[in-house]
Amino acid sequence: KNLNGGAAANVAMIGATLGMKTGLISAVGCEFIDSHYHKNMQKLGVDTEALIISQDENTPTAFVMTNNNQDQISYFYWGAGKEFHDSEVPRDKIKEFKAVHLATGDPHFNCKTGIVAKEEERLVSFDPGQDLGMYSPKKLKEVIANVNILFGNHHEIKRIQESMNVDINGLMDLGPEVVLMTCGSKGSIIYSPDEGKIEVESIYRPAVDPTGAGDSYKAGFVSRLIYGASLEEAAKFASSVSSFVVEKQGCQTNMPTFDEAYNRMIDFYK
């Protein structure tokens, strides 16, 4: 199946479904503008004015394979993604939003964007995801220095610590106020200098497809945090959001509304 996705786009689309004003900065091919995917974004109100459009390459595409244990391997066509490196960060567009999420993508562009977002005093979150191997220790440290929240699964956080040669506290000393580690069905762990270690149980649902679960989690977490929720409440809401996404194949085929996600959260964490 050919399904809509992309880490940054997933966050933007799910955030919009939850009722947030969202925008997308991403590199796409010129064929994307007239695509159904772009039209779906516009219907949801996702701001796409800052898209980087390549005239020479097609939109980046991931080929994802998942086994019966929900283990995944991806092959990636970078395509228009090469446009990121030399593109300018749209500072004026960033000023229109409360938060900036740095998803998988070009390390150099993510670094530049993090600097601009921090200068504009926006909440900055970062999820290197499967692109972690593209970051040199130096570049990774530069990006982390400008973020408020560092996301990663338990494998990724461990690799980041090894790359930086630090423990969790040392990692937070490099910049992030919050390190959030997702552990699949085991839930998530939040590390914060102010609140210490917070463990949050995950909402279990039979997983048809885990693709996009992490992106939906980040969208849910940030959406609550910027409106004043505690770290624990934001994580519980994020778990609820992602529990919907895994119920169907595809990243954007079962995106919950705010009420749907909130009600499931309340029912589970009684």
- Has residue 138 been placed in a domain? yes
| Percent of the residues in the chain that have a pLDDT greater than 90, as a whole number | 87
pLDDT recorded at residue 128: 96
- Has residue 2 been placed in a domain? no
Cβ atoms of residues 124 and 149 within 8 Å: yes
Number of domains in the chain: 1
CA distance 243 to 254: 10
pLDDT recorded at residue 163: 93
pLDDT recorded at residue 39: 97
What average pLDDT does range 121-134 have in this prediction?
96
- Residue ranges of alpha helices (H) inside the chain are 7-17, 36-44, 91-94, 107-119, 137-144, 154-164, 168-173, 213-225, 231-245, 258-268
CATH of the domain at 54: 3.40.1190.20
- Has residue 185 been placed in a domain? yes
Question: Model confidence over 217-256: pLDDT tens digits?
Answer: 999 999 999 999 999 999 999 999 999 999 999 999 999 9
pLDDT recorded at residue 210: 87
- Of residues 34, 215, 259, 267, which has the active-site annotation? 215
pLDDT recorded at residue 232: 98
Has residue 71 got a pLDDT over 80? no
- Has residue 65 been placed in a domain? yes
Question: Model confidence over 146-166: pLDDT tens digits?
Answer: 999 999 999 999 999 999 999
- Has residue 225 been placed in a domain? yes
pLDDT recorded at residue 58: 93
- Has residue 1 been placed in a domain? no
- Has residue 244 been placed in a domain? yes
- Has residue 24 been placed in a domain? yes
DSSP-assigned letters across all residues of 7-60: HHHHHHHHHHHTT---B---EEEGGGTTSHHHHHHHHHT-B-TT-EEESSSPPP
Which range marks the domain in which residue 79 is found? Answer: 7-268
What average pLDDT does range 132-152 have in this prediction?
97
CA distance 235 to 10: 18
What average pLDDT does range 135-142 have in this prediction?
96
Q: Is 215 a catalytic residue?
A: yes
Buried b (16+ CB within 10 A) or exposed e, 185-207: eebbbbbbeeeeebebebbeeeb
Mean of pLDDT over the chain: 95
Has residue 176 got a pLDDT over 90? yes
